């Protein structure tokens, strides 16, 4: 029984009962500073008379991000997708080729690659880190390869050493999509300076909330100069090395990003508290577990996400559980599913090759509600709900099948 809400399966929202949560519990971070602190910075921007075109707040954000990541350059952008497009296009050097990338990742990445004039070359991932497998990537390298793009997942940055070695051996640029890796470390070093460049997001659902936005971190002085000119387009009147964009971040977003960065330790501590609550809550439910973070005191994680691993012995399919729980007011979704090479995000005519690990992982995970709009009390109720579903699994599954949900 969940409080006084669910005593039989007829009380489940999908079967006509009241929802467990009146207000949806999201899967995004949605961390926000004190509104008065934000308005104070915005007033500074208005007083300066410069709301865009590299105002003082954006410059301060870039400086503080560089210190935080321990790199020489952070280039602020209108969003992270533009950063990935700029890097892919720059490294292609007008060639039309392929970008090696994982198939178990964000559905937008192959679109960004195609906007940059390239085609994705999907590869398999490591079973434990869920990141690009260097062995699979090596097999995919050919004379059309223009760059390698790896994704540092929420639970692990992956085999960065292996990928760097592979890139060096084949003289290929290595780009990291580190959107979920703010504050994380690899071999004791904070992410930001690995590969040719790393791309981060300032979207409201991510760890650093700038409403919208992103940035590129790099230690390469020449690359940073080129990226700044490409970002600014023709507005600065300087010569351009290649076709450019207008991808500048405005001061209103920079103000939000600054305040988020300045409370990053508090945000991560809150994430850790919620994740520990999930560990206790989910740990009481058979056949369910959480994807864990590195158990290494030398490494730091941001605990940004809580991803549910559903064992085959659980009485409901992932799709059934997702539909049932969504009806209760949990805005959950399947995690990186379907696999990109088997989805509508795969380019038309792409030759599909079996990627066994990706295909296995894409069928087993659900993202759970996280972030500052989710309380530990909410998490306790979510655990009780999942336990209730397990206990009544056979009856619930039968009822769902009658409704055509399998």
Residues 195 and 324 in one domain: no
Kindly report, residue by residue over 141-175, the tens digit of the pLDDT: 999 999 999 999 999 999 999 999 999 999 999 99
Has residue 188 been placed in a domain? yes
Residues 6+ positions from 212 with CB-CB distance below 8 Å:
78, 79, 202, 203, 204, 253
Domain co-membership, 237 together with 328: no
Domain that holds residue 255: 35-262
Q: Is residue 341 part of a domain?
A: no
| Cα 186 to Cα 24, 181, 191, 296, 382, distances in angstroms | 35, 10, 7, 11, 32
Residue 348 lies in a domain: no
Flag whether 161 is in a domain.
yes
DSSP state of 281: H
Q: Going by C-beta distance under 8 Å and a sequence separation of 6 or more, which residues neighbour residue 223?
A: 90, 196, 197
CATH of residue 279: 3.90.1150.10
Residues 274 and 165 in one domain: no
The pLDDT value recorded for residue 295 is: 85
Contacts of 244 (CB under 8 A, 6+ apart): 229, 230, 231, 232, 233, 234
**What number of helices (H) and strands (E) belong to the chain?**
13, 13
- Whether 159 and 102 map to the same domain: the answer is yes
Same domain? For 25 and 141 the reply is: no
Inter-residue contact 246 to 233 (CB < 8 Å)? yes
Asked if residue 132 and residue 78 are part of one domain, the reply reads: yes
What's the pLDDT score for residue 238?
Answer: 62
Positions in the chain whose pLDDT score sits under 70: 1-4, 234-239
Look up the pTM and report it.
0.94
CATH of the domain at 89: 3.40.640.10
Q: Do residue 115 and residue 170 come from a single domain?
A: yes
Q: Is residue 361 included in any domain, yes or no?
A: no
Distance CA 91, CA 397 (A): 51
Residue 356 lies in a domain: no
Residues 190 and 270 in one domain: no
Residue pointed to by tokens 């497998």: 133
What is the number of domains present in the chain?
A: 2
Instruction: Looking at the structure, tell me whether residues 201 and 290 fall in a common domain.
Output: no
Residue 134 shares a structural domain with residue 277: no
pLDDT of residue 68: 98
In this prediction, residue 235 carries a pLDDT of: 58
For 209-229, what is each residue's pLDDT tens digit?
Answer: 999 999 999 999 999 999 999
Residues β-bridged to residue 186:
189
245, 270: one domain = no
Asked if the structure places residue 133 within a domain, the reply is yes
The 10s digit of each residue's pLDDT in 39-80 is: 999 998 998 888 888 899 999 999 999 999 999 999 999 999
Distance from C-alpha of 391 to C-alpha of 314, rounded to nearest angstrom: 10
Q: How far is CA 156 from CA 137, 185, 292, 305, 322, in A?
A: 18, 9, 9, 12, 25
């Amino acid at each position: 029984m969940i409080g006084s809400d669910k005593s039989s399966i007829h009380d489940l929202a999908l079967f006509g009962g009241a929802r467990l949560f009146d207000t949806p519990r999201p899967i995004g971070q949605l961390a926000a500073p004190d509104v008065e602190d934000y308005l104070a910075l915005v007033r500074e921007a208005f007083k300066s008379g410069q709301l865009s075109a590299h105002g003082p707040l954006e410059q301060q954000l870039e400086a503080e991000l560089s210190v935080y990541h321990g790199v020489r350059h952070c280039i602020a952008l209108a969003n992270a997708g533009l950063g990935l497009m700029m890097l892919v296009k720059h490294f292609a050097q007008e060639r039309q080729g392929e970008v090696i990338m994982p198939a178990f990742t964000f559905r937008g990445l192959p679109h960004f690659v195609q906007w940059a004039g390239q085609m994705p070359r999907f590869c398999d991932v490591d079973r434990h880190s869920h990141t690009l497998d260097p062995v699979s990537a090596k097999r995919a390298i050919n004379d059309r390869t223009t760059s390698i793009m790896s994704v540092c997942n929420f639970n692990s940055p992956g085999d960065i050493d292996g990928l760097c070695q592979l890139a060096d051996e084949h003289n290929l640029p290595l780009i990291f999509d580190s959107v979920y890796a703010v504050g994380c470390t690899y071999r004791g070093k904070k992410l930001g300076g690995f590969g040719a460049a790393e791309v981060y997001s300032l979207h409201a659902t991510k760890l650093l909330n700038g409403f919208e936005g992103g940035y590129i971190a790099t230690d390469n002085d020449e690359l940073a100069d080129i990226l700044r000119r490409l970002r600014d387009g023709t507005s600065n009147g300087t010569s351009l090395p290649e076709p450019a964009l207008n991808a500048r971040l405005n001061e209103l977003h920079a103000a939000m990003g600054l305040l988020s960065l300045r409370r990053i330790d508090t945000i991560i501590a809150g994430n850790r508290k919620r994740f520990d609550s999930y560990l206790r809550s989910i740990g009481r439910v058979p056949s369910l577990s959480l994807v864990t973070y590195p158990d290494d005191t030398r490494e730091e994680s941001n605990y940004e996400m809580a991803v549910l691993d559903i064992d085959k012995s659980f009485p409901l399919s992932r799709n059934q559980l997702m539909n049932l729980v969504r009806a209760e007011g949990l805005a959950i979704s399947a995690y990186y599913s379907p696999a990109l090479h088997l989805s509508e995000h795969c380019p038309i005519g792409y030759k599909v090759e079996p990627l066994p690990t990706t295909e296995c992982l894409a069928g087993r995970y659900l993202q759970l509600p996280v972030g500052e709009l989710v309380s530990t009390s909410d998490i306790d109720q979510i655990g009780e709900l999942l336990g209730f579903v397990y206990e009544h699994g056979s009856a619930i599954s039968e009822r769902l099948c009658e409704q055509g949900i399998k």
